[in-house]
């Protein structure tokens, strides 16, 4: 009972997040999507001209020898084909460009949101996994607005129009043909609903594998120093194997749907041939009608046959959007309604009032910390490893809030201060140094890219950077490499 409730709750949450993802991500591009749908309608309508022209060609021209009707017929068919070709080109280009634009916009939006999440989120999520969410999950939009949308909507329109025409031409024959099609539609819909969690799991596995690979490459010196190459190879191979098993599961399901479509449509075609031949011989159907009927039936069947691949793509795309929307729904640091105060002229008076802190509930790292630091004072925190020195520094930087108590700067509780207001005035040297790929100048200007040259040189001198940059041929323009690998650790 509990498991069923949990599953139902998960399904409701998933549907809600999908609706939110559609409204926030796809709906803003509705104008381009609307134009695309119109082009799809025109293109598929032109595609319906050819099957009917077969009937006229066989019954009205070939059977009667009325060649004067051939040129008008060929002209109409040629015009329809030309319109279909032009609209297809414009359609694919329009939606492909829109899809790529939306992918770029979505990636930027998710990256911006992630950068404004609290540090606790990054403590519980791997860097590589977040990179995967930003770069890989967004690619699914291409199937929703690009080629996948064209195939899905275009296929549905063609199937409906062909079905209506078939019913008018020969209701009994159409009914026999639709039974396998409807059976396939029911089974495939159920199948893709079942395998959607497989695609979600694939995104998680891919994120985990990417995260581990990112860590391994970032820590390559540690790996080589401890002769741990084989262990990392084993870990990565294990992750890749899990990814392979997941893909194999989804391929098994999609292969089943494809083979089911082939089998059912094959049965339908055989029945059409048998029944059609009998109707022609009894005079209830002309030869032209039969050929036209079979062409329209092909237009009805083709989208159903494509449903396996298109359904798989769109199911995977929604799984990716679902995961991205999970991130976008997380509250950002500065969205805290309690943070309304702004700091202007900061003197630097810091006070900890009965501060306790827990990373995990019930496991305190700090308990009842009380101290005060006057402006301009240098304070050293001394203690054994794990005693909470870095935690105190993190609380002072407002990377997290105290579980109990307050941290005040110039008498203002930091939990009420806008983080952008406080951190714009905060100077910070981390325990683990981190330098970005680029020049020394670019790294110094990281926090204040609009600083003057005089401010830059003053900052470099006060941090004793000029002591070693003066020895470099390019000085502050020296490229330091990723994480500063081209400089000494000191």
Per-residue pLDDT reduced to its tens digit, 155-170 = 888 888 888 888 888 8
Report the run of H or E that residue 354 belongs to, with start and end.
Answer: strand 350-360
Higher pLDDT, 468 or 402: 402
Q: Give the C-alpha separation, 9 to 60, whole Å.
A: 62
Confidence of residue 228 (pLDDT cuts 50, 70, 90): confident
Residue-level pLDDT at 8:
42
Report the run of H or E that residue 404 belongs to, with start and end.
Answer: strand 404-409
DSSP per-residue codes, 234-287: HHHHHHHHHHHHHHHHHHHHHHHHHHHHHHHHHHHHHHHHHHHHHHHHTTSS-H
Higher pLDDT, 23 or 336: 336
Q: Give the C-alpha separation, 193 to 197, whole Å.
A: 8
What's the full length of the chain, in residues?
490
Q: How many CB atoms lie within 10 A of CB 143?
A: 22
How many helices (H) and strands (E) the chain has is answered by 17, 4
Confidence of residue 263 (pLDDT cuts 50, 70, 90): confident
Residue with tokens 């002072």: 396
pTM metric for this prediction: 0.65
pLDDT digits 0-9 by tens, 348-381? 889 999 999 988 788 888 888 899 989 888 888 8
Higher pLDDT, 194 or 365: 365
Sheet holding 404-409, edge to edge: 363-373, 350-360, 404-409, 412-413
Q: What is the distance between the terminal CA atoms of the chain, rounded to a whole angstrom?
A: 60
Residue-level pLDDT at 354:
92
Decide: 299 and 163 in contact? Cβ < 8 Å: no
Chain centroid to CA 318: how far? 8
Confidence of residue 2 (pLDDT cuts 50, 70, 90): very low
Residue with tokens 């390559």: 220
Q: Give the C-alpha separation, 405 to 393, whole Å.
A: 15
Confidence of residue 10 (pLDDT cuts 50, 70, 90): very low
Distance of CA 466 to CAs 430, 475, 478, 481, 482, Å?
Answer: 20, 8, 12, 18, 21
CATH numbers and ranges of domains, the chain: 16-331 (1.20.1560.10), 336-423 (3.40.50.300), 440-484 (no CATH)
- The whole-number average pLDDT for the span 225-230 is 76
pLDDT digits 0-9 by tens, 295-327? 888 888 777 767 656 766 777 777 777 778 888
Decide: 470 and 479 in contact? Cβ < 8 Å: no
Residue with tokens 């935690």: 391
Question: Which residue, 95, 91, 112, 93, is CA-closest to 46?
Answer: 91
Higher pLDDT, 299 or 81: 81
Instruction: Pull the structure tokens for residue 8.
Output: 């139902």
- The whole-number average pLDDT for the span 56-75 is 86
Decide: 135 and 107 in contact? Cβ < 8 Å: yes
Residue 343 has pLDDT above 70, yes or no: yes
Residue-level pLDDT at 86:
92
Decide: 256 and 229 in contact? Cβ < 8 Å: no
Residue 82 has pLDDT above 90, yes or no: yes
Residue with tokens 């001198």: 461
Q: Give the C-alpha separation, 108 to 367, whole Å.
A: 40
pLDDT digits 0-9 by tens, 84-143? 899 888 888 888 888 888 888 888 888 889 888 888 788 777 777 788 778 888 887 777
> What letter does residue 335 receive in the DSSP assignment?
G
Q: Give the C-alpha separation, 254 to 262, whole Å.
A: 12
Decide: 415 and 352 in contact? Cβ < 8 Å: no
- The whole-number average pLDDT for the span 170-198 is 78
Q: Give the C-alpha separation, 58 to 40, whole Å.
A: 29
Residue-level pLDDT at 5:
43
Decide: 14 and 318 in contact? Cβ < 8 Å: no
Residue 430 has pLDDT above 80, yes or no: no
């Amino acid at each position: 009972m509990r498991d069923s409730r949990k599953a139902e709750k998960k399904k409701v949450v998933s549907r809600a997040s999908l609706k939110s993802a559609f409204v926030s991500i796809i709906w803003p591009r509705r104008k381009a999507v609307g134009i695309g749908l119109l082009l799809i309608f025109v293109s598929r309508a032109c595609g319906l001209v050819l099957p009917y022209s077969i009937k006229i060609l066989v019954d009205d021209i070939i059977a009667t020898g009325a060649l004067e009707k051939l040129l008008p017929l060929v002209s109409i068919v040629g015009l329809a084909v030309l319109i279909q070709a032009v609209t297809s080109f414009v359609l694919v280009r329009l939606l492909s460009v829109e899809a790529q634009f939306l992918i770029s916009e979505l990636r930027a939006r998710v990256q911006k949101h992630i950068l404004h999440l609290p540090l606790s989120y990054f403590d519980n999520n791997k860097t590589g996994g977040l990179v995967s969410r930003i770069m890989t999950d967004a690619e699914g939009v291409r199937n929703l607005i690009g080629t996948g949308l064209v195939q899905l909507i275009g296929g549905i329109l063609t199937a409906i129009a062909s079905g209506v025409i078939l019913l008018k031409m020969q209701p009994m024959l159409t009914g026999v043909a639709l039974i396998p099609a409807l059976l396939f539609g029911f089974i495939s819909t159920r199948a893709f609903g079942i395998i959607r969690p497989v695609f979600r799991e694939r995104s998680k596995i891919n994120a985990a594998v990417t995260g581990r690979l990112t860590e391994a490459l970032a820590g390559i010196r540690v790996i080589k120093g401890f002769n741990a190459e084989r262990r990392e190879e084993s870990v990565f191979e294990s992750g890749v194997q899990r990814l392979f098993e997941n893909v194999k599961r989804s391929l098994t399901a999609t292969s089943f749907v494809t083979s089911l479509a082939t089998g059912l449509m094959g049965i339908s075609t055989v029945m059409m041939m048998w029944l059609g031949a009998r109707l022609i011989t009894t005079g209830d159907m002309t030869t032209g009608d039969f050929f036209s009927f079979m062409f329209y039936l092909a237009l009805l069947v083709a989208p159903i046959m494509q449903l396996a691949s298109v359904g798989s793509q769109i199911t995977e795309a929604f799984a990716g959007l679902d995961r991205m929307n999970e991130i976008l729904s997380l509250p950002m640091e500065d969205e805290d309604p309690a943070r309304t105060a702004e700091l202007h002229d900061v003197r630097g008076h810091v006070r900890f009032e009965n501060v306790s802190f827990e990373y995990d509930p019930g496991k305190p790292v700090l308990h009842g910390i009380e101290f005060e630091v006057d402006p301009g004072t240098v304070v050293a925190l001394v203690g054994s490893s794990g005693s909470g020195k870095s935690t105190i520094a993190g609380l002072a930087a407002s990377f997290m809030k105290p579980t109990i108590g307050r941290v005040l700067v110039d008498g203002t509780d930091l939990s009420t201060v806008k983080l952008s207001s406080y951190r714009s005035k905060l100077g910070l040297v981390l325990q683990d140094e981190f330098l970005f790929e680029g020049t020394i100048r670019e790294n110094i200007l990281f926090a204040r890219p609009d600083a003057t040259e005089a401010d830059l040189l003053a900052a470099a001198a006060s941090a004793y950077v000029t002591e070693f940059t003066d020895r470099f041929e390019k000085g502050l323009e020296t490229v330091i490499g990723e994480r500063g690998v081209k400089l000494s650790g000191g």
